Chains A and B, each alone.
Chain A
Amino acid sequence: MVFSFIVIPLLVAAFLPLIGKFSKKLIPDVLTNAALAYLVFNAVMLVKPLLAQGTILQNVNWFGEQVNLAVALDSFSLFMLFTISLVSLCITIFSVDYLEHYGHKANFYALLLVMIAGMNGLVLVPDLFSVYLFLEVAAVASYALVAFGLGYDELEASFKYLMLSVVASAFALLSITIIFGMTGSLSFQAVAQGLQDLQARYVIGVCIAFFIMGFGLKAALVPFHAWLPDAHPSAPAPISAMLSGLLIKVSGVYALFRIVYSVVGMTPVLTQVFLALGTVSMVVAALLALGQKDLKRMLAYSSISQVGYIVVGLALGTPLGLLGGLFHLFNHAVAKGLLFLNSGSVQHITGTRNLEELGGLDKRVPVTAGTNLVGALSIAGVPPLAGFWSKLIIIMALIQAKEFGYALVAILASILTLWYYLLMQRKAFFGPLNENLKQVKEAPFWMSAACVILALIAILVGVFFTPFVKTWISPAADVLARGIQHVLTWGI
Chain B
Amino acid sequence: MSNLWFLYLFFSALLIFIGLYCLLTMRNLIRLFIAVEIISKGVSLAIVATGAVKNSVLLAQSLAITYIVVEVSLVATALALIINIYKKNKSLDVRLLSKLKG
Direct A–B contact in the complex, CB atoms closer than 8 angstroms? yes
Interface residues of A (CB under 8 A from B): 129, 133, 136, 140, 143-144, 147, 150, 152-153, 155-160, 162-163, 166-167, 170, 173-174, 177-178, 180-181, 184, 186, 226-227, 229-230, 234
- Knowing A152-B88, A181-B50 are in contact, say whether A170-B16 is a contact too (CB < 8 A): yes
| A159 to B39 CA separation, bound complex (whole angstroms) | 17
Q: Which of B40, B50, B77, B100 contacts A177 (CB 8 A)?
A: B50
User: By the criterion CB–CB under 8 Å, are B82 and A159 in contact?
Assistant: yes
User: By the criterion CB–CB under 8 Å, are A153 and B46 in contact?
Assistant: no
| A353 to B23 CA separation, bound complex (whole angstroms) | 33
Q: Which of B54, B81, B99 contacts A180 (CB 8 A)?
A: B54
On chain B, the number of residues with a Cβ less than 8 Å from chain A's Cβ atoms is: 37
- Knowing A163-B23, A167-B23 are in contact, say whether A181-B82 is a contact too (CB < 8 A): no
In chain B between 39 and 97, which residues have their CB closer than 8 angstroms to a CB of chain A?
39-40, 42-43, 46-47, 50-51, 53-54, 56, 59-60, 63, 66-67, 70, 73-74, 77-78, 81-82, 84-85, 88, 97
A sample of 14 inter-chain contacts (CB < 8 A) reads A129-B63, A140-B70, A140-B74, A155-B84, A158-B81, A159-B29, A159-B78, A159-B97, A162-B77, A162-B78, A170-B16, A174-B16, A177-B46, A178-B50
Q: Which residues of B contact A156 (CB under 8 A)?
A: 85, 97, 99-100
Residue of B nearest to A180 (CB): B50
Q: How far is the CB of A352 from chain B (nearest CB, A)?
A: 17
User: By the criterion CB–CB under 8 Å, are B85 and A155 in contact?
Assistant: yes
Q: Which residues of B contact A186 (CB under 8 A)?
A: 59
| A169 to B39 CA separation, bound complex (whole angstroms) | 11
Q: How far is the CB of B79 from chain A (nearest CB, A)?
A: 11
Name the prevailing secondary structure of the A interface residues.
Answer: helix
User: By the criterion CB–CB under 8 Å, are B43 and A174 in contact?
Assistant: yes
Residue of A nearest to B73 (CB): A140
Q: How far is the CB of A216 from chain B (nearest CB, A)?
A: 16
| A167 to B85 CA separation, bound complex (whole angstroms) | 21
- Knowing A163-B23, A184-B56, A226-B102 are in contact, say whether A136-B81 is a contact too (CB < 8 A): no
Q: Which residues of A contact B67 (CB under 8 A)?
A: 173
| A164 to B73 CA separation, bound complex (whole angstroms) | 16
User: By the criterion CB–CB under 8 Å, are B54 and A153 in contact?
Assistant: no
| A323 to B53 CA separation, bound complex (whole angstroms) | 42
B32 adjacent to chain A (CB < 8 Å): yes
B5 adjacent to chain A (CB < 8 Å): yes
B18 adjacent to chain A (CB < 8 Å): no
Q: Which residues of A contact B77 (CB under 8 A)?
A: 140, 143-144, 162
User: By the criterion CB–CB under 8 Å, are B85 and A159 in contact?
Assistant: yes
- Knowing A140-B74, A163-B23 are in contact, say whether A153-B81 is a contact too (CB < 8 A): no
User: By the criterion CB–CB under 8 Å, are A159 and B102 in contact?
Assistant: no
User: By the criterion CB–CB under 8 Å, are B50 and A159 in contact?
Assistant: no
Q: Which residues of B contact A144 (CB under 8 A)?
A: 77
Scoring B5, B67, B100 by chain A CB atoms within 10 A of each residue's CB, the highest score goes to B100
Q: Which of B36, B51, B70 contacts A136 (CB 8 A)?
A: B70
| A85 to B42 CA separation, bound complex (whole angstroms) | 37
User: By the criterion CB–CB under 8 Å, are B81 and A143 in contact?
Assistant: yes
Q: Which residues of A contact B88 (CB under 8 A)?
A: 152, 155
Q: Which of A129, A155, A226, A227 contacts B81 (CB 8 A)?
A: A155
Q: How far is the CB of A36 from chain B (nearest CB, A)?
A: 24
Q: Which residues of B contact A173 (CB under 8 A)?
A: 43, 47, 67
Q: Which residues of B contact A136 (CB under 8 A)?
A: 70, 73-74
List the 8 closest A-B pairs by CB distance, nearest first.
A181-B50, A230-B100, A226-B102, A156-B97, A136-B70, A177-B46, A184-B54, A155-B85
User: By the criterion CB–CB under 8 Å, are A150 and B47 in contact?
Assistant: no
User: By the criterion CB–CB under 8 Å, are B39 and A167 in contact?
Assistant: yes
Residue of A nearest to B40 (CB): A170
- Knowing A133-B66, A167-B39, A230-B100 are in contact, say whether A162-B16 is a contact too (CB < 8 A): no
| A229 to B36 CA separation, bound complex (whole angstroms) | 23
User: By the criterion CB–CB under 8 Å, are A166 and B36 in contact?
Assistant: yes
User: By the criterion CB–CB under 8 Å, are B81 and A147 in contact?
Assistant: yes
Q: How far is the CB of A441 from chain B (nearest CB, A)?
A: 31
Q: Which residues of A contact B84 (CB under 8 A)?
A: 147, 150, 155
Residue of B nearest to A165 (CB): B74
Assuming A152-B88, A156-B99, A170-B39, what are 12 further A-B pairs, CB within 8 angstroms? A140-B77, A155-B84, A156-B85, A159-B82, A162-B74, A163-B32, A166-B36, A166-B39, A166-B74, A173-B67, A177-B50, A180-B47
Residue of A nearest to B29 (CB): A159
User: By the criterion CB–CB under 8 Å, are A159 and B46 in contact?
Assistant: no
| A136 to B54 CA separation, bound complex (whole angstroms) | 26
Q: How far is the CB of B42 from chain A (nearest CB, A)?
A: 8
| A90 to B39 CA separation, bound complex (whole angstroms) | 39
Q: Which residues of A contact B60 (CB under 8 A)?
A: 180
Q: How far is the CB of B87 from chain A (nearest CB, A)?
A: 9
Q: How far is the CB of A67 from chain B (nearest CB, A)?
A: 14
| A184 to B51 CA separation, bound complex (whole angstroms) | 8
Residue of A nearest to B13 (CB): A174
| A226 to B20 CA separation, bound complex (whole angstroms) | 17
Q: Which residues of A contact B73 (CB under 8 A)?
A: 136, 140
Q: Which residues of A contact B53 (CB under 8 A)?
A: 181
Q: How far is the CB of B97 from chain A (nearest CB, A)?
A: 5
| A152 to B87 CA separation, bound complex (whole angstroms) | 10
Q: Which residues of B contact A157 (CB under 8 A)?
A: 100
Q: Which residues of B contact A155 (CB under 8 A)?
A: 81, 84-85, 88
